[in-house]
Amino acid sequence: MDDKTKTGRRRVSILFLVVVGVAIGLVIKNVRAGLIIGLAIGLLAGRLAIKRSK
Using one digit for the tens of pLDDT, what is the confidence trace for 4-41? 676 777 777 777 777 777 777 777 766 677 777 777 77
Q: Is pLDDT larger for residue 43 or for residue 52?
A: 43
28 falls within a domain:
yes
Look at the chain and count its residues.
Answer: 54
Looking at residue 43, its pLDDT comes to 75
Looking at residue 3, its pLDDT comes to 66
Looking at residue 52, its pLDDT comes to 62
Instruction: State the residue range of the domain holding 37.
Output: 22-54
Looking at residue 30, its pLDDT comes to 67
- Would residue 27 be called left, alpha or beta, if left means φ above 0 and alpha means ψ between -120 and 50 degrees? alpha
8 falls within a domain:
no
Q: Convert 1-54 into a string of H (helix), E (strand) and C (coil).
A: CCHHHHHHHHHHHHHHHHHHHHHHHHHCCCHHHHHHHHHHHHHHHHHHHCCCCC
In the chain, the number of structural domains is 1
5 falls within a domain:
no
